[in-house]
């Protein structure tokens, strides 16, 4: 199947953004609590999918949580303890860019926890998620899956593109070499934590555009929102100047290399040399 064209993607994304805004207003109005977990292989497109969800909604309603490595204090806590304070309150949508499932994936594969700790986690998490759901949270868990060939292409692209090199870490390279260890860890995680009250949903993302649209469509279909009636808005009349004139203050205007109607001959800047 050919990759989705940008024009078609933007058309569908615009429509889905309108639905996400309607969902946002429903969440605010009803006090609903929504938690969305994104997991998946490196380069599978978690960040781009999350950006597609959040770029047209309010950050006061939609919060993205991407927790850093635990502190020494957090390491001494019960494993799930550091995640609980970030669960949604009424009127919030919380999106986890990686989550408590780090223990079942990257921590297990790269040796940051013991097999016994992983086993304890996999045994405990279904009941923890049951408690989350029983508290009234709508919990959706997505695993983004990318093929080994596409992952290789994307990692090579990060290496070669100076705009993307920051996305590549030593851990990414180590993870890349452990494809089948990650596959086994993923399979164990699905066997234990794919429950009736908190199932896993898998999205194929070799075509990022199709993958994002599929996730957004599924997300909207699994939240029981409805569009609220909106009052018609009209701009009020602007006040008259009543003698006001712009003063000649010693303000500093930034240079305007894009100020003219024709910018094809503008002077090159340092930024140009960095991406040329």
**For residue range 8-64, what is the model confidence (pLDDT) as tens digits?**
999 999 999 999 999 999 999 999 999 999 999 999 999 999 999 999 999 999 999
Who has greater pLDDT, 176 or 85?
85
pLDDT bucket at 261, cuts 50 / 70 / 90: low
Give pLDDT, residue 165: 87
In percent, the amount of the chain with pLDDT more than 70 equals 94
pLDDT in tens, 84-128: 999 999 999 999 999 999 999 999 999 999 999 999 999 999 999
| Token pair in block for residue 175 | 């993870």
pLDDT at 276: 44
Residue 210 and residue 218: Cα distance in Å, rounded?
12
> What superfamily in CATH does domain 6-221 come from?
P-loop containing nucleotide triphosphate hydrolases (3.40.50.300)
Does 275 have pLDDT greater than 50? no
Q: Is pLDDT at 271 greater than 60 in this prediction?
A: no
Residue 262 has pLDDT above 80, yes or no: no
What confidence score (pLDDT) does residue 253 get?
87
Which of the pair, 258 or 5, is modelled with greater confidence? 5
* pLDDT interval class at 172 (50, 70, 90): confident
Q: Per-domain residue ranges for the chain?
A: 6-221
Percentage of the residues of the chain whose pLDDT score is greater than 90: 78
**Section 186-211 average pLDDT:** 97
Nearest of 66, 56, 76 to residue 15 by alpha carbon: 56
Segment among 67-71, 174-178, 269-273 with least mean pLDDT:
269-273
150-168 b/e (C-beta count within 10 Å ≥ 16 → b): bbeebbeebeeeeeeeebb
Long-range contacts from 2-7, C-beta under 8 angstroms, 24+ separation: 3/207, 3/209, 3/210, 4/207, 4/209, 4/210, 4/213, 6/209
Which residues, other chains included, contact 144 with Cβ-Cβ below 8 Å and sequence gap of 6+?
Answer: 38, 39, 40, 41, 44, 45, 46, 49, 202, 203, 205, 211, 215
């Amino acid at each position: 199947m050919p990759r989705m064209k940008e024009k078609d993607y933007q058309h569908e994304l615009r429509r889905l953004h309108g639905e996400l805004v309607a969902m946002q207003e429903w969440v605010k109005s009803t006090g609903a609590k929504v938690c969305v977990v994104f997991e998946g292989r490196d380069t599978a497109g978690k960040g781009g999918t999350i950006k597609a969800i959040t770029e047209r909604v309010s950050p006061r309603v939609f919060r993205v949580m991407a927790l850093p490595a635990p502190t020494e204090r957090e390491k001494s806590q019960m494993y799930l303890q550091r995640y609980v304070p970030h669960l949604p309150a009424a009127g919030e949508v919380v999106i986890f860019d990686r989550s408590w499932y780090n223990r079942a994936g990257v921590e297990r594969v790269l040796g940051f926890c013991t097999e016994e700790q992983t086993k304890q986690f996999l045994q405990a998490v279904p009941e923890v998620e049951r408690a989350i759901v029983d508290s009234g949270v709508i919990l959706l868990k997505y695993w983004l899956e990318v093929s080994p060939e596409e992952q290789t292409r994307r990692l090579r692209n990060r290496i070669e593109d100076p705009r993307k090199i920051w996305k590549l870490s030593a851990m990414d390279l180590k993870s890349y070499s452990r494809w089948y260890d990650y596959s086994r860890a993923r399979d164990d995680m699905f066997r234990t934590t794919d429950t009736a009250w908190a199932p896993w949903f898998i999205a194929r993302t070799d075509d990022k555009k199709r993958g994002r649209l599929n996730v957004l469509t599924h997300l909207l279909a699994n939240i029981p929102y409805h569009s609220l009636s909106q009052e018609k808005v009209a701009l009020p009349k602007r006040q008259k100047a009543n003698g006001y004139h712009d003063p000649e203050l010693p303000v500093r205007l930034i240079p305007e290399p894009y100020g003219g109607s024709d910018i094809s001959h503008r002077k090159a800047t340092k930024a140009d040399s960095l991406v040329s």
